Structure 1
Amino acid sequence: MPARTDPHPVTGHEFPSPVPPGTGWPQDPADPGTRVARSEGGVRRLAARARDLATLDARVSVCAACPRLVTWREEVASTRRAAYADQPYWGRPAPGLGDPHPQVLVVGLAPAAHGANRTGRIFTGDRSGDWIYAALHRAGYASQASSTHAGDGLTLGTVRITAAVHCAPPDNAPTPAERHTCGIWLQRELALAEPSLRSVLALGGIGWDAFLVAARTLGWEVPRPKPRFGHGAQARLTTGSGREIRLVGSYHVSQQNTFTGRLTETMLDDVVARL
Structure 2
Amino acid sequence: MGDAAVTGPRDALSALDAELIECRACPRLVAWREEVGRVKRAAFRDETYWARPVPGFGPHDARLAVVGLAPAAHGANRTGRMFTGDRSGDVLYASMYRVGLANQPTATSLDDGLALLGTRVTSPVHCAPPDNKPTPAERDTCRHWLASELDLLAPTLRAVVVLGGFGWQALMPVLTAAGWIVPRPRPRFGHGVEVVLQPDEREPDAGPRAPLHVFGCYHVSQQNTFTGRLTPDMLDDVLRRAALVSDLPA
* Aligned pair partner of 1:246 in 202, 213, 216: 213
Written as runs of structure 1 = structure 2, the 5 A alignment for 1:31-110 is 52-110=12-70
Question: Does the 8 A contact of 1:222 with 1:236 survive in 2?
Answer: no
How far residue 217 of structure 1 moved from its aligned partner, in angstroms, is: 2.5
Letter in 1 for 2:211: E
Q: TM-score, normalised by structure 2?
A: 0.88
Question: Does the 8 A contact of 1:164 with 1:206 survive in 2?
Answer: no
The 1:193–1:219 alpha-carbon spacing in structure 2 relative to 1, beyond 3 Å, is closer
Letter in 2 for 1:56: L
Written as runs of structure 1 = structure 2, the 5 A alignment for 1:172-251 is 172-240=132-200, 241=208, 243-251=210-218
Gaps of 5+ in 2: 4-9, 201-207, 243-250
Question: Does the 8 A contact of 1:72 with 1:170 survive in 2?
Answer: yes
Per-residue displacement from partner, 1:116-135 (whole Å, max 9, x unpaired)? 00011110000000011011
How far residue 158 of structure 1 moved from its aligned partner, in angstroms, is: 0.5
How far residue 242 of structure 1 moved from its aligned partner, in angstroms, is: 5.3
**In the aligned structure 2, how far is the partner of 1:133 from the partner of 1:62?**
27
How far residue 224 of structure 1 moved from its aligned partner, in angstroms, is: 2.5
State the percentage of identical aligned residues: 57
* Aligned pair partner of 1:118 in 75, 78, 81: 78
Q: Give the structure 1 partner of residue 114 of structure 2.
A: 154
Per-residue displacement from partner, 1:19-70 (whole Å, max 9, x unpaired)? xxxxxxxxxxxxxxx9xxxxxxxxxxxxxxx972111111111111100000
Q: TM-score, normalised by structure 1?
A: 0.80
Q: Give the structure 1 partner of residue 248 of structure 2.
A: none
**In the aligned structure 1, how far is the partner of 2:161 from the partner of 2:179?**
20
Gaps of 5+ in 1: 1-33, 35-49
Question: Does the 8 A contact of 2:151 with 2:179 survive in 1?
Answer: no
**In the aligned structure 1, how far is the partner of 2:100 from the partner of 2:199?**
27
> Is residue 138 from structure 1 mapped to residue 105 from structure 2 by the alignment?
no
Letter in 1 for 2:134: P
Per-residue displacement from partner, 1:101-159 (whole Å, max 9, x unpaired)? 11000100000000000011110000000011011111111010010111110001110
**In the aligned structure 1, how far is the partner of 2:170 from the partner of 2:80?**
22
The 1:100–1:237 alpha-carbon spacing in structure 2 relative to 1, beyond 3 Å, is same
**In the aligned structure 2, how far is the partner of 1:75 from the partner of 1:263?**
32
Question: Does the 8 A contact of 1:223 with 1:236 survive in 2?
Answer: no
**In the aligned structure 2, how far is the partner of 1:144 from the partner of 1:51?**
26
State the structure with bigger RCO (CA 8 A, min sep 6), 1 or 2. Answer: 2
